Chains A and B, each alone.
Chain A
Amino acid sequence: MPFVANFPFACILITMVCGIVSSVLKSKNAYRLNIFAASVCFALSLMLLLFMINEPTSITYMMGHYPAPWGNEIRFGPLEALLATIFCFIMLSSLIAGRKDAFIDIKESKINTFCLMMNLLLSSILALIYTNDLFTAYVFIEINTLSACALVMAKGNGRSISSAFRYLIMSLLGSGLFLLSIILLYSVTGHLLMPNIYESVQILIATNEYMVPLTVIIGFAVTGIAVKSALFPFHTWLSFAYESSTCAASSILSGIVSKAYIILLIKIFYRVIGFENIVALKINNVLFVLGAIAMIAGSISAIKETKIKRIVAQSSVSQIGYIFVAMGLGTQAGMIAAVLHMIVHALTKSMLFSASCGLIAASDQKKKLKNLKGAAYRNPIAGIGFVIGALSMIGIPFFAGFASKYYIATASISSPEKMGVLLALIAVSTVLNAIYYVKVISVIYNKKDSDTKRVSSGNMYILGMTMFIVANLSLGIFYQPIVDIITIGLQLF
């Protein structure tokens, strides 16, 4: 086994230990340590990714001294390395960009707990990406839920606490269903590790045994994860949670937390049940329909909103709809498009949140859109970031969002019966996206009767936004290698 194979486990452990250490540090040092942990994880994941590009393999790493059916294990290939790299990058840039905001929004004595939560969140997300064991996934889902909930309430005012409570309730419903499906699956297969469950499930399906429990299990697992990743009928908590948290927290929540669950769902599809069985059971059609409704409904509610952060948050609902629609096509091409869109959305949405926080900070912390007139002149880099993110989300060529929408559209060719609907959906949704993003852009670049004097946003903010902008632009132009990695990764998944 190559030495780089230790890195995923090292990332999980480093973030965990840094979290624990930051709980006893002073606020500034805790934040520094947090940034350090995220950058170390980014570097290690990047090295793993480079190794995986050179020789694509899928490595199984034992967590302990016992092999597959007995001990825990993690497993990773090119796709996992790519996702981990991008998520660590998002974490790092959001932390850097959100530093000033975090110190304004959160009490000094609570910054170290905030950092602890950030570290454990990253650790749980990495564990969810890498894990090869369903029960481990459940435990880390709970860490993820609790720490995300803590990030939502870190501001400590009434609104953020009520949002956190809503978030917690919805997450608990989701994880309850997921736990139920795991133990039902355990009772019919006798395993908790994904490859062993896969073998048993194939035998069960071939002999047509326990088909009723299996259907219910898949239904519950998908519903549970859909609740947690804010698929359409379960998205109500999302805008409140994203709106009321501090800058770094909302970037990270929107960018990577909901994505970690989608990755888990893909994992369940491929490694636990088998994608062909999912298609045979027509689960993908349900996802397609829900995703299609989400694409439209999210955009319409975004048009109605009057606060910048809520607009961006509601747009997340529609973008998650895109991901599920692409997954719902039920083909390999659709899945590649879904993963690509997931990456694009993670990078873009976290940049949009960071940018809107910068715009709000430049306008005396006023969140209403009408108070943000000319904010882009007061904080130019935030304005540029917002424009790039918005153009990417609308799907203008040469921006990242265009590539993923293009891949979703071409993927629809592989399933002809959904093609017409999907193309119409993309067209309608693009127009709707354009309506609200263009509106925001025109407001923030509105020079008329507004103060255009620059407001200092701090060097850290500029650095973080620059990282986001560079990443987004380069993703928009060099998406082809990313698609290649995803394709190889899904084959080895």
Chain B
Amino acid sequence: MKTMKNKITAVFKKFIDGDFDIEAKEIKVKPEIKSEHKEQSMKERYLIWHDNHGVHSFKTIYAGCSIFVCVTLAVILLYTVSYLPAYGNPLNPANNEVSDRYTEFGLEETGAVNTVAGMILDYRAFDTFGESAVLFVAASIVMMLLKKDEKKRSKHLEDHSRDPIIKHIAQVIVPCLLIFGVYLVLNGHLSPGGGFSGGAVMGAGLILYSSAFGYRKASKVITDKLLRNIVFVSFCFYAVAKGYSFFTGANHIPTGIPLGTAGNIISSGLILPLNIAVGLIVTCTMYSFYALFNKGEI
């Protein structure tokens, strides 16, 4: 009885001291419960089984469970889909007064021929603002994770001799890509395109340039500081412009920004400058993703 009491006090003391380990205690208690011989043989048998089949059968069970999860989820979703409104039907609930207004008055109210651009940069601009912030956050995180320290840098950055075919083709394609990207950005409110797609194309052009002509040459023009400043200025402009537009909108003050003639390059108020800002952000982000993943610096 006394030993039992002592034991409990000892365990309690240990617990109070903070190095209480449940597992350790369980192992201690277990042998006392029943005959030791059987326990060990079970253990041995388990170990033998584990060595021979354990991992294998665990993998099988795991794969089985995964398939089960996948099929269950798919069945639930398909069952849901079978009750959804029919594909392509103009009377579906989604084709209501909201989408009608975007196409019917979009041109008049936002000045954008491209209804989607008008919708994302004027009607629902807060979403798009958040979305640019997501991109900005991601670029910063990638930089935080992959950027090398000053000391470790630029020792093993010798450029391999580049393939002449790639060089010659890139000489032709890179300017085309950049010009096409600029076109997409500037015509975002008039035709398919806009800041995001145009920026992605321009970013691809820069990436091609860097991989064809070598990192050294690219880094002479495109520096870390330049990219960061461009992103900083564009994003600040974006935030200020949208802040102004939200503030005036909520307080029912006219913005005073002329919409211009629909169809001209300079029209549709803030949409064009916003597209340019977004295009610059996306270009710089895409290129810095590439450079950071590839070299650990810009």
B250, A23: Cβ atoms closer than 8 Å: no
B144, A150: Cβ atoms closer than 8 Å: yes
Tell me which of B97, B127, B131, B145 has the highest count of chain A C-beta atoms within 10 A of its own C-beta: B127
Tell me which of B101, B126, B248 contacts A136 (CB under 8 A).
Answer: B126
Tell me which of B15, B101, B134 contacts A70 (CB under 8 A).
Answer: B101
B2-25, CB < 8 A from A: 15-22
A143 to B149, CA, bound (A): 27
B137 located at the interface, meaning its Cβ lies under 8 Å from any Cβ of chain A in the complex: yes
B67-90, CB < 8 A from A: 76-77, 79-80, 83-85
Question: 1/0 contact trace for B134-147 toward A, CB 8 Å?
Answer: 10111011011100
The smallest C-beta distance from B136 to any residue of chain A, in angstroms, reads: 7
Size of the chain A interface, CB-CB below 8 angstroms: 70
A368, B92: Cβ atoms closer than 8 Å: no
Tell me which of A70, A117, A124, A213 has the highest count of chain B C-beta atoms within 10 A of its own C-beta: A70
Question: 1/0 contact trace for A125-145 toward B, CB 8 Å?
Answer: 001000001011001101100
A210 located at the interface, meaning its Cβ lies under 8 Å from any Cβ of chain B in the complex: yes
The smallest C-beta distance from A424 to any residue of chain B, in angstroms, reads: 24
A16 located at the interface, meaning its Cβ lies under 8 Å from any Cβ of chain B in the complex: yes
B99-129, CB < 8 A from A: 99, 101-102, 109, 122-127
A184 to B80, CA, bound (A): 9
Q: Give every chain A residue within 8 A of B80 (Cβ-Cβ).
A: 184, 212-213, 216
Tell me which of B124, B133, B228 contacts A71 (CB under 8 A).
Answer: B124
With A9-B250, A188-B93, A212-B83 known to touch, is A23 a contact of B18 (CB < 8 Å)?
A: no
Cβ-Cβ contact count across A and B, 8 Å cutoff: 182
Of A57-65, A276-284, A321-329, A413-421, the stretch lying at the interface with chain B is A57-65
B62 located at the interface, meaning its Cβ lies under 8 Å from any Cβ of chain A in the complex: no
B49 located at the interface, meaning its Cβ lies under 8 Å from any Cβ of chain A in the complex: no
The smallest C-beta distance from A231 to any residue of chain B, in angstroms, reads: 19
A300 to B130, CA, bound (A): 40
A175-209, CB < 8 A from B: 184, 186-192, 200
A70, B144: Cβ atoms closer than 8 Å: no
With A368-B18, A443-B17 known to touch, is A210 a contact of B140 (CB < 8 Å)?
A: no
Size of the chain B interface, CB-CB below 8 angstroms: 61
The smallest C-beta distance from B105 to any residue of chain A, in angstroms, reads: 9
B250, A63: Cβ atoms closer than 8 Å: yes
B96 located at the interface, meaning its Cβ lies under 8 Å from any Cβ of chain A in the complex: yes
Q: Give every chain B residue within 8 A of A491 (Cβ-Cβ).
A: none
B45-69, CB < 8 A from A: none
A23, B140: Cβ atoms closer than 8 Å: yes
Q: Give every chain B residue within 8 A of A149 (Cβ-Cβ).
A: 141
B249 located at the interface, meaning its Cβ lies under 8 Å from any Cβ of chain A in the complex: yes
A116 located at the interface, meaning its Cβ lies under 8 Å from any Cβ of chain B in the complex: yes
A373 to B13, CA, bound (A): 13
User: Which chain A residue shows the least CB distance to B144?
Assistant: A113
A72, B127: Cβ atoms closer than 8 Å: yes
The smallest C-beta distance from B146 to any residue of chain A, in angstroms, reads: 11
With A190-B94, A442-B16 known to touch, is A9 a contact of B246 (CB < 8 Å)?
A: yes
A65, B245: Cβ atoms closer than 8 Å: yes
Q: Which 10 A-B pairs have the closest CB atoms?
A: A369-B18, A139-B130, A72-B126, A65-B249, A190-B96, A190-B93, A370-B18, A63-B126, A370-B19, A212-B83
- Interface residues of chain B, those whose CB is within 8 Å of chain A, are 15-22, 76-77, 79-80, 83-85, 92-99, 101-102, 109, 122-127, 130-131, 133-134, 136-138, 140-141, 143-145, 149, 228-229, 232, 235-236, 239-240, 243, 245-251, 255
Add 16 more A-B contacts to A64-B249, A139-B131, A213-B84 (CB < 8 A). Answer: A9-B247, A21-B236, A24-B228, A24-B229, A116-B137, A116-B140, A133-B126, A135-B127, A140-B130, A150-B140, A187-B92, A191-B96, A216-B77, A306-B19, A368-B18, A446-B16
10 A/B residue pairs, CB under 8 Å, sorted by A: A20-B239, A63-B249, A64-B125, A64-B245, A116-B137, A146-B134, A190-B99, A304-B22, A306-B21, A369-B19
- Interface residues of chain A, those whose CB is within 8 Å of chain B, are 1, 5-6, 9, 13, 16-17, 20-21, 23-24, 61-66, 69-72, 109-110, 113, 116-117, 120, 123-124, 127, 133, 135-136, 139-140, 142-143, 146-147, 149-150, 153-154, 161, 184, 186-192, 200, 210, 212-213, 216, 303-304, 306, 368-370, 372-373, 439-440, 442-443, 446
